[in-house]
Each structure stands twice: as C-alpha cells, then as structure tokens.
Amino acid sequence: MTQQESTTNEEAEELRIGAFICECGVNIAGAVDCNAVADYISTLPNVTTAVVNKYTCSDAGQDEIKKAIKELDLNRVLVASCTPKTHEPIFRACVEEAGLNPYLFEFVNIREHCSWIHMWEKEDATRKAKELVRMGVARAALLEPLQSSEVPVTNKALVIGAGVTGMQAAMDIGDMGFQVYLVEAGPSIGGKMAQLDKTFPTNDCSICILGPKMVEVNRNPNIEIMSYSEVEEVDGYVGNFDVKVKHKARYVDIDLCTGCNSCVEKCPVEVPYWEFNEGIGTRKAVYVPFPQAVPLRALIDKSICIDCGACSKACERGAINMDQEDTFSDLEVGVIVVCVGYDVYDPEPNHDFGFGLYDNVITTMEFERLINASGPTMGKVVRPSDVVQPKRIGFVQCVGSRDVNSNIYCSSFCCMASLKNAQLIKEKYPDSEVYIMYMDMRTPFRMYEEFYNRARDMDIHFIRGRPAEVTENEDQNIIARIEDTLTNKIENLELDMMVLSVGAVSPESTEKIRQILKVSRAADGFMMEAHPKLKPVDTTLDGIFIGGMTQGPKDIPYSISQGSACAARATRFLAQGKALTEGITIAVDEDICVRCEVCVPMCPFQALKMDDDGKLEIITALCKGCGTCAVACPTGALQQSHYKNNQILAQVKEVFAYEEV
C-alpha cells in the first residue's frame, strides 16, 4: 500500500478511539487525578469513550476493553498505565482477541513517566498525564494495522560459557531433544567451580560432584562442546541467529591427543599457573588444564613455547602440530543462552588490606587452591612467604563488595565461602586459631544459617569489624588493627596468614560478547535481565537469555537453577518451531524514491539493496525496524511503519497543544 492509498483509507474510516486510564491502585491514582484525565480526554476529537479502571491489566480491565471494542465498535484502543516494556504485549494480545489489529493499540506511560516521578505534585502530574494521553490520542488516530510475521526457528541452541550454569543449560536443552553447541573460551569446561575445594552447605568436594556432570555433558549426544573457542560474530534474530565461532589454535590435534601427559613431562618451560591455580604452583608450556578436564586434551601456550620440539618427540600419536591455526565455524541456531560467569575481585591495584604488599595476604580463590587435595600443595595449607603451615588464620569479609570504593553490591556467596573455609581449617588442623572479620554475616537459604551455627560451635572467632590498618612484622606475620564493634575493643590481631574474602565482578573479557549480542549492562557491570522479578533470565532481546553470574553474583544452587531456567525459556521457541517477529519495519514508496542509494549503506543489517532494475529492494526478514534509513532518505520515500513521520509529528504538535497561527 502506498502512502497515498493509506491516507485515503484513513479518511474513509470514522475514527473511534477508546481510552482506558488505569489507576494502578494508588500507584497512578495517588499522584494523578485519573477521573479528571478521563473527563478531559473524552472531550477530544475522535474519542468515543474514556474510562478509568482500577487495574486495566487485570482480567476485569481487559474484559472491559474487549467489551468496549465490540459494543462501541472501537477501531483504536489507548491504554494509559505503566510501561510498554512490560505491558504492551499484554494489551496488544487483548485487543487482538477482540478482533482489532494489535498495532492499532497505543500505549501511554503515566506511571513510570508521571505518577512515580511526581509523587507530591498532583496538579502538575495530572496536567502532564492529560498532555501525555492527548499526545497518545493524536498518534492513535494515525496508527495503521501491521502484520507481524511468523518465522521458522532453527531447532538448535547456542550456549556460551561452560561453567556449571552453562553446562546445566546445555544438558537440559540437550535432554529435551535439541542440539546444543556449547562454546567455552577456556581449554576445558567446568568453569570456576572446578577450582573450588569444597562447596557449602554440605562440604561436598567440588570436583567430585562437578566432574561426573562434566563427563555427562561430554557424553550427551545432543551437545557439541567447542572448548578453547569464542563467539566472534552474531547476526540475525530470534529463531535465526548466524553465529561465527573462532576455535583458537591449541597446537595439539584433539582427535589424536589422549591427555596422557607424556609431552608435559618432557617440556622444559615452566611458568606460574595463573589460569587454574591462581599463580600457586606451575604449569609447562604444554599442559593439560587439570586432571578432570573435559576434553582431557593438552594445549600449548605459544607465548612462552621455545619451539624445542621435545613435546613432539614425546608424543607417540603425533598429536603436536605447531603449524595449527585458528579455525572458524559458522553455526545456525534459534536461541542463545549466555552463561559467561564472573571474575573474582582483584585487590591488587588498591592493595586492599595489604594485598600485593605482604606475601601472607591472599584471596579466597588462592585459599581454595591451597586447601584443595588436587591443588598445587596437595591440600596442605601453607603460607606463601615461608611455605609453613599457618596457625592463626583470619578471613576479612566484603573485600570488593559492599564498599563505596569498589562495588556497592553484596556478592552474596562470600560469607558462606569463608564459613566453609574456616570449618575446613578447623577440621584439618584442629589446633588452629581461626578468625572471621565481618560487617554482617549473611546466610539466607536452606541449611545456610545452620551452617553458620555449626561454625560458631567449632570455636571459630567472629569479630564484627573490618581491619582499619594492616601491617607486617619482622616474622612476616600480619598485624590487623581492628575494633570489635560489639565490645568496642580495639586490638592488634597477629595472624600468620590473612585471607581476603573477595567478591564477584563482571569480567572485562565478557564485555565483547555483551556488545556483540547487544544485551544491556546494569549499573553494577553485570548483564541486565528483562525484568528483575518476572523475567530474571530473559533479556530484552527475543531468543537471548542470561544465566548464573552473568546476571550478578550468586551461589552454585542459584546458578544451576538459572541454567535450567534458561533452558526452559529458550526451549519454548525450539519446541514451537516458530517465532513472531516485530511488525515494525521499513517500507518504500516507489513513486517518491529517486534511487539515490543514500539509504543503502545506512542499514547495519544489509536489509536494503538495489535490485537488478535499479529499484530499492527491502529484505524485510533482515530489517529490524530502527528507522535510521528513513531519516537518511532525502525524499521521504522510506517510512518506518508504526513510527511514520506523520505519527511522530502528531505527537510533537499535540503534546503541548499550541494554537494554530
């Protein structure tokens, strides 16, 4: 339909607009006189009815809309209530049920954008609400019916990140019968959980419960693990994502390697093992990530390899391939689940509590590796300065959390982690003195408070306070000057080793994938969910989900639950085999188009091209409806549906309703 035709149609049709003003209990009615708004709106041209509802989104409210559409023959519906970000789909579906095209619905936000931000200015807020609704009425009059198109969904999923959350998501999607690509940046799946010693609140050995799960993921016929790989590009939309994955060169043929370690034994280059052991202990230039790694395959760190050839000679199967290059895969998937995890807070730059200045101040993650039976010390807890077992150990809570100088949020797992580690020390070395220095102990959820009580019964000392000053004496013992704020006693606590209970931060390395996918970033740096309560694993992007620490700090049970939640949310699309795409796209009026091609390079999605006859062709499936090309068009031939110039200009002119001159 050309513009002219549509204008003619509009003229032919008598406009009958129904306006529904929501009180939202007192959320809106507390600051806006909704009856006054309705009274005013009912005087505007084309408005057939304007009514006030207690809750327009309730069953009763929606029934009233449907009834009015039928009885009053409404051909436009306007709801003035909350935000379209949560409620537009609900009302579009409601009017559609009553036979109206969903795009003939107009939403006006008088809650987030009015009553909640002008809580004590009833008069001004009411006037503003009237103007906002008037603007909506002007726009509603010009709305045109649109069709959203149904697109087929590729019945495969991509899970990015193979920590415990991503593994769970991949397993659940795989078990529901859909193929999953599980892409992991590191050389093995397992994530941070593989580094931990025990896990609260039951003190299970972490790798003993994770290891079998890793094997299960590997055995699942529907899961293809792509380790040491990164997502480079993502194109497309829900149901039809095109993904480019880079497989980083391992310089080891993983089909030939058996993970036997004979190459590792011969390699002469040894460096601190940062990636897995936090720099405690060493690894070779060629190494197998850890004994339970999946895939259990070696890789070569080319940045330190001296090319001596010892590994090649040692490998009976000829798996070493120093000429290997990065390779790429192009995947087609219908949905994407992002579980890229976290980093522990780094206290080094600010030397929090002497970290980086004194050898015997370490982080929780370093402690996990120290006390881990398969760690670099075989589980013997020793302090870094002299490799002697420390007798007096103190834990400092909230390092990099709940602190205006670093992160204001609570990382939630660190209290329990320190309680666990304190218990482990007391079990292993009963004559140790263990201190926990805290602001508040936070132990919600099942069995957690009991776990805290258990620690108290084990003669672990709790000091409510944070060290004000940390120094080191001639024995390299740590002196923490601390006030116990429960007793108002200040003391210089002498410790052989101090452990900083570091919180979680969003890794800088995940910023790239966030930007590729266009997932929003929350103020704390983690990725942002679509709704903090109702859609905790959805994003605002259809078909893209986030789980686990990607969305903020959480413990293992919570992360696993989110992995399963992501799988359930994502699989809805795969099971239905189809998805609806937004009806808002671009259209060209060929009578006005002068074929100047200015618009073509404007489109970031290559949805515009000149066809063989030199005419502008729009590939609707690629158009995402941003409207940037419409602005570039010098003749106005390109129009973005639902955001046409006349529709926006009607809002511009009606909002403050100045007199015609």
Partner 1 sequence: MSDFEPDILTFCCNWCSYAGADLAGVSRLQYPTNSRVIRVMCSSRVEPIHILEALKEGTDGILVTGCHIGDCHYIEGNIHTDERMKEIVDALEHLGLKDRLHLEWVSAAEGKKFQETITDFVEKIRALGPNPLKKNKKEE
Residue 411 contacts by C-beta under 8 Å, 6 or more apart in sequence?
Answer: 345, 400, 401, 503, 504, 553
From the CB of residue 183, how many other CB atoms can be counted at a distance below 10 Å? 29
Among 7, 8, 9, 83, binds partner 1 (CB under 8 A): 83
Site string for partner 1, 20-59 (x = CB under 8 A): --------------------x-------------------
How far CA 575 is from CA of 166, 375, 442, 536, 561, in Å, comes to 20, 43, 40, 21, 21
What is the C-alpha to C-alpha distance for residues 90 and 570, in angstroms, rounded to an integer? 20
Question: In the 8-state DSSP scheme, what is residue 582?
Answer: P
Site for partner 1 in 610-629 (CB under 8 A): 624-628
What is the C-alpha to C-alpha distance for residues 493 and 651, in angstroms, rounded to an integer? 67
Residue 90 within binding range of partner 1, rule CB under 8 A: no
Among 9, 58, 515, 606, binds partner 1 (CB under 8 A): 515
Asked if 160 and 336 touch (Cβ cutoff 8 Å), the reply is yes
Residue 489 within binding range of partner 1, rule CB under 8 A: no
Among 56, 109, 363, 372, binds partner 1 (CB under 8 A): 109
Closer Cβ to partner 1, 182 or 630, answer by number: 630
What is the C-alpha to C-alpha distance for residues 430 and 427, in angstroms, rounded to an integer? 6
Judged by CB under 8 A, the stretch of 10-18, 215-223, 333-341, 599-607 that binds partner 1 is: 599-607
Judged by CB under 8 A, the stretch of 125-133, 259-267, 367-375, 399-407 that binds partner 1 is: 125-133
Closer Cβ to partner 1, 65 or 630, answer by number: 630
Among 72, 90, 117, 619, binds partner 1 (CB under 8 A): 117
Asked if 96 and 67 touch (Cβ cutoff 8 Å), the reply is no
CB of 36 to partner 1, least distance (A): 10
Using CB under 8 A as the binding criterion, the count of chain residues that bind partner 1 stands at: 57
Asked if 371 and 424 touch (Cβ cutoff 8 Å), the reply is yes
Residue 523 within binding range of partner 1, rule CB under 8 A: yes
From the CB of residue 151, how many other CB atoms can be counted at a distance below 10 Å? 17
What is the C-alpha to C-alpha distance for residues 590 and 2, in angstroms, rounded to an integer? 8
Residue 120 within binding range of partner 1, rule CB under 8 A: yes
Asked if 104 and 76 touch (Cβ cutoff 8 Å), the reply is yes
Residue 314 within binding range of partner 1, rule CB under 8 A: no
Residue 645 within binding range of partner 1, rule CB under 8 A: yes
Judged by CB under 8 A, the stretch of 130-138, 147-155, 301-309, 361-369 that binds partner 1 is: 130-138
The single residue listed with the structure tokens 């370690």 is 261
Residue 651 within binding range of partner 1, rule CB under 8 A: yes
Q: Quote the tokens at residue 399.
A: 């390092």
Radius of gyration, alpha carbons of the chain: 31
Closer Cβ to partner 1, 241 or 251, answer by number: 241
Closer Cβ to partner 1, 237 or 353, answer by number: 237
What is the C-alpha to C-alpha distance for residues 284 and 289, in angstroms, rounded to an integer? 10
Judged by CB under 8 A, the stretch of 279-287, 459-467, 472-480, 519-527 that binds partner 1 is: 519-527
Judged by CB under 8 A, the stretch of 203-211, 444-452, 495-503, 642-650 that binds partner 1 is: 642-650
In terms of C-beta distances under 8 Å and separation of at least 24 residues, what long-range contacts does 607-616 make, across chains too? 615/590, 616/588, 616/590
Among 96, 121, 484, 494, binds partner 1 (CB under 8 A): 121
What is the C-alpha to C-alpha distance for residues 10 and 12, in angstroms, rounded to an integer? 5
What is the C-alpha to C-alpha distance for residues 243 and 234, in angstroms, rounded to an integer? 5
CB of 165 to partner 1, least distance (A): 22
Among 55, 96, 113, 557, binds partner 1 (CB under 8 A): 113
243: which strand partners? 234, 331
What is the C-alpha to C-alpha distance for residues 645 and 657, in angstroms, rounded to an integer? 18
Site string for partner 1, 375-404 (x = CB under 8 A): ------------------------------
Closer Cβ to partner 1, 28 or 217, answer by number: 28
CB of 404 to partner 1, least distance (A): 15
CB of 644 to partner 1, least distance (A): 10
CB of 50 to partner 1, least distance (A): 14
Closer Cβ to partner 1, 472 or 524, answer by number: 524
Among 298, 502, 528, 638, binds partner 1 (CB under 8 A): 528
Omega cis (within 30) before 347: no
Residue 11 within binding range of partner 1, rule CB under 8 A: no
Judged by CB under 8 A, the stretch of 141-149, 195-203, 224-232, 516-524 that binds partner 1 is: 516-524
Residue 303 within binding range of partner 1, rule CB under 8 A: no
Judged by CB under 8 A, the stretch of 314-322, 454-462, 490-498, 641-649 that binds partner 1 is: 641-649
Site string for partner 1, 133-152 (x = CB under 8 A): --x-----------------
CB of 659 to partner 1, least distance (A): 5
Residue 632 within binding range of partner 1, rule CB under 8 A: yes
Q: Quote the tokens at residue 539.
A: 């994003």
How far CA 62 is from CA of 55, 67, 169, 418, in Å, comes to 9, 9, 36, 51
Nearest partner of 399 among 452, 363, 435, judged by Cα: 363
Nearest partner of 502 among 396, 354, 419, judged by Cα: 396
Closer Cβ to partner 1, 92 or 130, answer by number: 130
Nearest partner of 295 among 332, 263, 349, 250, judged by Cα: 250
At position 138, the amino acid (one-letter code) is: A
482: which strand partners? 491
Element (H, E) at 467: none
Residue 643 within binding range of partner 1, rule CB under 8 A: yes
At how many degrees (to 10) do helices 448-457 and 414-428 cross? 40
From the CB of residue 637, how many other CB atoms can be counted at a distance below 10 Å? 20
Closer Cβ to partner 1, 102 or 627, answer by number: 627
From the CB of residue 430, how many other CB atoms can be counted at a distance below 10 Å? 9
Judged by CB under 8 A, the stretch of 15-23, 263-271, 570-578, 652-660 that binds partner 1 is: 652-660
Residues that bind partner 1 (CB under 8 A): 40, 83-85, 109, 111-113, 116-121, 124-125, 127-128, 130-132, 135, 515, 518, 520-523, 528, 540-541, 584, 602, 604-605, 624-628, 630-632, 640, 643, 645, 648-649, 651-653, 655-659, 661
